[in-house]
Amino acid sequence: MEEIIKFIVSNGYGAQEPDANQAPDISDNRIGVKSLVTIVSGIFLALGFVINWIADDKSYATYLFAVAMITGGYYVYRSALTSLRSLILDMNVLMTVSSVGAVFIGEWSEAATVVFLFSVGNMLQASTLEKTRKSISRMIEMSPREARILSSSGTEKAVPVNEVRPGDTVLVKPGEYIPVDGIVAAGFSWVNQSPITGESRPIEKTIGDAVFAGTVNNEGFLKITVKREAADSTLAKMIDMVEEAQARKAPSQQFIDKFARYYTPVVIIGAILVVVIPVVFLNMPFSEWFYKALVLLVISCPCALVISTPVTIVSAIGNAARNGVLIKGGAYLEALGKVKSIAFDKTGTITTGQLVVTRVVTVGGVTEKQLLETAAAVERFSEHPIAKAVLNECNRAGSDTPLSEGFISYPGKGARSSIEGRFIYVGNKRLMEELGISTDQIITDEQALELSGHSLVYVSSDESLLGLIAISDKSRHGVKELLVSLKEAGVEEILMLSGDNEAVVSRVAAEVGIESYAANLLPEDKVKRVEELTTKGVSVMVGDGVNDAPALAVTTVGIAMGAAGTDSALETADVALMNDELSKISFCLNIGRKTLSIIKQNVVLAISLKVIFLILTFAGISNLWMAVFADTGASVLVTLNGMRLAQLKE
């Protein structure tokens, strides 16, 4: 580690070994120093102009201009030397050559002004870029440094959060940040999860519910059983992902970086030719054409062009993270702006993935309430999802579950229990047939429900049928609105994929308004369907990030929903939605389109200003000051334009 730090410092940068017990300080502490030296440079520059105007001896003004150059150009000159050591010709080298060249021809005031204005531009760029990093800083600040754990003796003890281990019990008082990912073991409260999921309102938390580090316990006292170490928490993974995403370069950014690498040497060669050709071959005055070459160097600085894309990408990714959307890099962000087709998994995406009772059909004078209570008495011992749906409906209706005993499960068919001395059976049609129970009296309802894609649960005694309970997977709220917004956004094809049977899938598709769907698909079938979409243009696959991992991997952009606390979803998807709000998908496409638009605006603005001032230079209208204003002004404009994405709302 020491050798790495020495190498970094030797190249003109700062570095220190991180403290394992402290979150990294990602803010740029040099911004204050850069602001100070820029102000000092401006003061000496102003004094130089005053002395130059009122004093007879101009040498004092020259000294002041020199101090203005040294203070304002410290970081510029240092970076230029570092670049030259590495045989890299960047914008700092261009600016250094320009200012030193101005001194060479006696233009001290212009040299100092060039350096001061460039320093102002760097200060403004650093300041605006720092604002985009605040999203990560705030995320880090939300993670408490200490946790209050309950020891084996029953006493409370405050320990550093990185010493908390899975299985420990953590106590969280009202108003405190929750320090770890875990499960509520005792207590009830409302928790503000907006830092993680982007949800605008507090979420009710009671025994058995998951909570996340960095969220705020609003009201109640909570005992939490720790699920993950602090370094593996959902918040820690989010911070890592956002930092990595900002480091991953988008295609447009990679192109501009390559362009700048070759562009700078070409500009320097061009500036040399601007001097050599007129002076050597056309016998024109050296000072005039040397001055024009300096103006050319300043105007040609690719500052605005180079910064136009990264500041836009960073602003967009930071904004998305604050809204509960993790985008893993600029490449995916740009792709979201070009989406032509979207494939949705059905279960857990278009639907909630939670089975609910949709209809109750009774026979022989049995009431709906009695049928539900009877079925719940049998299903209370089962872990099957259908059993949970029946129990949930019974609880929702406020019904009392009768006592039952002698539970027996019939795998693949149903179950039996004894209630008040008689056997009650709950199961599928096959179980009824084996028991010899006729279902003819409900055949019309039975057929209609089967055709509409419901799962049917029959309830009977030893002698006769008592009724029928229809179960289905409920479509998620907001699906129809999402589909409308996607079509308005220019998405040409929307497809729903599912492994369920044709009847279920067609019912859900008709319910939400999806025209294209495919049923009875194995995971490899989903992959083929997604690959077909990808050949037609940029495609997106939306799933849960676990069962849909293969399909998420082959699509242009894979979006995992409900990724909070789900390691596999955070790792496999290109975009992770921390909650299940479908509106986030529209937000993803919107921020992708806005990003592409602003990148194009910035590139056009940066190039246009340079072309205009190059023409003015060779027309004899532009000078060195105007060139610096053009370069610095363009840099500030593209930075502020990119920063607009930090404020984009859903």
Which residue in 245, 248, 332, 322 sits closest to 596, CA to CA?
Answer: 332
Bridge partners for 206 per DSSP: none
Sequence-distant (≥ 6) Cβ neighbours of residue 502 within 8 angstroms: 519, 520
Tokens of 602: 């910035």
How many CB atoms lie under 10 A from the CB of residue 370? 16
Alpha helices in 211-250, H assignment, sequence order? 234-247
Contact 399, 369 (CB under 8 A): yes
State the Cα–Cα distance between residues 267 and 269, nearest whole angstrom.
Answer: 5
Q: Can you list the positions of beta strands (E) in 544-589?
A: 557-560, 575-577
Contact 617, 625 (CB under 8 A): no
What H or E segment, with its residue span, contains residue 475?
A: strand 465-475
When computed from its CA atoms, the radius of gyration of the chain, rounded to whole angstroms, is: 34
365: region left, alpha or beta (phi > 0 left; psi from -120 to 50 alpha) = left
Sequence-distant (≥ 6) Cβ neighbours of residue 525 within 8 angstroms: 518
Contact 119, 38 (CB under 8 A): yes
Using the 8-state DSSP alphabet, how is residue 19 labeled? Answer: P
Q: Is 345 a catalytic residue?
A: yes
Return the residue matching tokens 């990602």: 26
Tokens of 351: 């639907």
How many CB atoms lie under 10 A from the CB of residue 482? 22
What's the CA angle centered on 569, arms 567 and 571, to 5 degrees? 70
How many CB atoms lie under 10 A from the CB of residue 16? 10
Which residue in 224, 28, 244, 242 sits closest to 144, CA to CA?
Answer: 224
Please state the three-class secondary structure of 494-540 as a single string: EEEECCCCHHHHHHHHHHHCCCEEECCCCHHHHHHHHHHHHCCCCEE
Return the residue matching tokens 């023409």: 615
Which of 90, 168, 181, 345 is catalytic? The answer is 345
State the Cα–Cα distance between residues 351 and 289, nearest whole angstrom.
Answer: 71
Amino acid at the residue 489? A
Contact 525, 374 (CB under 8 A): no
Tokens of 487: 């079509």
Using the 8-state DSSP alphabet, how is residue 276 labeled? Answer: H
Contact 319, 646 (CB under 8 A): yes
Which residue in 49, 50, 31 sits closest to 39, CA to CA?
Answer: 31
Active-site residues, by number, are: 345
